[in-house]
Amino acid sequence: MAAGTIHAQVPSREWLHSVQAELAELAPPSNWSISRVPFTLRVVKPEAYTPHIISIGPLHHGAKNLQSMEFHKLHYMFSLLRRNPNAFDTLDACGTAIEGLDRQVRACYSESIKFTRHDLARILLVDGCFVLELFLRFSQANLRLKDDPVFNTSWIISTLQRDLALLENQIPFFVLQWLFDVAVMKTDIAQEVSNLPELALAFFKSTLYRSQESVQSISRSQFIHLLGLIHDSYLPPAQIQERHAISTQPFVYSASSLSEFGIHFQRDTTQSQFVLRFERGVLKIPPLLIHESTDSIFRNLIAFEQIFHGSSQFVTSYFVFMAYLVSTDSDTELLEHKGIIENHMGGWENASFLFNEMSKQVVLEDFQLAPLCRELNQYNRTRWNEYETTLKRVYFRTPWTMVGLIASYALLVLIMVDVVYTIRSYYRY
């Protein structure tokens, strides 16, 4: 080879092809409904966002500490499918349909799914069938097997309720709905089941309080996943869609301060969890049950509102408001005495600490309780003006009444001084 000769190498185009493939798989951010919890929220309490015993969907699939439930998933799937005249034909139909939904499913996740088309379809099929069979056995005791450890072990159901409500532990609701229509509604038990949303909410019923009205109206809506279903089940039936920017958020007094202003607190069981009302000097708040499962669900509902911009931030608004309202132990005691707060967390985590923890690092763009805050503050100003008016009318009506009041205070001070000197003289001699 002659000296100085330069051989140009043809650059490989393979890396560009891989980039093109990645771009082709991208979904618009507006489609994202399942995401990792933002780091700023996770760092406050990481364990609240991590599944304890089961993975649902691809994000936590394969975790070593969750493998024990994989065996039970397969058993539950087989129980669900064999209620059909031909279980394996139903299995084939479900698997083929889910594989055909691959692109729509991947578009729901904010990150690239590492699993192949076939592996992802298998995850969705097994996990989806397990969830449906779990809901059916929970609602109909006659479907449970005598040796089923899921229902025979006291703590498993409550842990499953928690794990199935995690933001990172979701599969698209349309996958569950399709499996429900094929594997459940075409069997003999179809007449005993109303619809999938009500079946799912019945499973979570013991974890959170909601009014019956909100449950009955929920079946007419569309949902993105189970956590989204739980979230939307708390939407007030006649919710005002007006947005309340955070810049308009008024100051919120603590419960003790409001009590000193003459405001009373009342446990309200007629409304859903996050609907607060102020009527005739009474702040009506639905009862709030705090235990390990609800703590986790509340945090994941807030995380859902943080990443899914199409949702109303009424859960975040509630906990920001409660963080102001319950800022000291005396505030906690006041609301516990009224039956509004029931804290079963134990240890040193009191309600004021929990409310402040839950509202940390949140971005609140739509403060749903801004009108309520303005009502409370207006009431406080009105009451203070009434006190001031009464004081002026009784004690400062004329110059002579004001002089008399000042003279009375002066006389009282002189008497107190005389008493002090008398006591000191007594002990001196």
Q: In Å, how far from its chain's centre is CA 307?
A: 13
Rg of the Cα atoms in the chain: 30
The torsion of the CA quartet 172, 304, 203, 213, rounded to 10 degrees, works out to -110
| pLDDT tens-place string over residues 100-123 | 999 999 999 999 999 999 999 999
pLDDT level of residue 240 (50, 70, 90 thresholds):
very low
Same domain? For 220 and 251 the reply is no
Q: Is 355 domain-assigned? A: yes
Same domain? For 227 and 315 the reply is no
Among the listed residues 161, 138, 134, 169, the one whose alpha carbon sits nearest the alpha carbon of residue 292: 161
What lies within 8 Å, CB to CB, of 159 at 6+ separation is 52, 53, 293
Last residue of a domain, one of 232, 262, 283: 232
Q: pTM (2 decimals)?
A: 0.81
**Rounded-to-integer distance, Cα 357 and Cα 398, Å:** 53
Number of domains in the chain: 3
Same domain? For 153 and 268 the reply is no
372: its two tokens: 């309520």
Same domain? For 369 and 406 the reply is no
| pLDDT tens-place string over residues 21-61 | 666 665 555 566 899 999 999 999 999 999 999 999 999 99
Q: Is 133 domain-assigned? A: yes
Question: What pLDDT is stored for residue 346 in this prediction?
Answer: 63
